[in-house]
Homo-oligomer: A and B are copies of this chain.
Amino acid sequence: MASVESFIAECRIKGIKLTGQRRVIAQVMVEGQGHPNAEQIHADAAHQHDRISLATVYRTLRVLRDAGMVIEHAFPDGRCHYELAGRPHHDHLIDKESGAIVEFCDPEIERLQQAIALRLGYRLTGHRLELYGVRAR
């Protein structure tokens, strides 16, 4: 999802009604980076639109999540964090000291998860893998 325009276009295709607030949230998600929580997204959005509530941010994120355009992560800080969907799959390493979030993808681990589920008699439908660590020095 390179541009706000294509994101907006995808909304239209999926029948998601576009409002001023939603355009701003779309822009924040597309042009921003990292894994912001709702409050941070609201703060960024409020910077460009003086009439936007936290409830609308939550509602819009839910719409986008249900449309598969945004991914929601329940990280261990007790809040939900969001990122654009449509990028290649990856998991996260969280720096316990700085809070920094590092993305990674390991095909071997992905493969092993499938194998483990199968061995246990299950078909894998999803997974959550988070590594916690501190800078090695």
Contacts and interface: CB of A to CB of B under 8 A. Distances in A.
Interface size class of chain A, counting residues whose CB lies under 8 Å from the partner chain: 20 to 34
Interface string A84-98: 000000000101100
Given A106-B116, A109-B109, A113-B109, A95 B122 contact: yes
A85 to B, nearest CB: 17
B136 A116 contact: no
Given A93-B117, A93-B120, A116-B109, A128 B130 contact: yes
Contact of A124 (B109, B127, B128, B131): B131
A82 to B, nearest CB: 16
Interface in A49-75: 74
Interface of A: 74, 76, 93, 95-96, 102, 104, 106, 108-109, 112-113, 116-118, 120-136
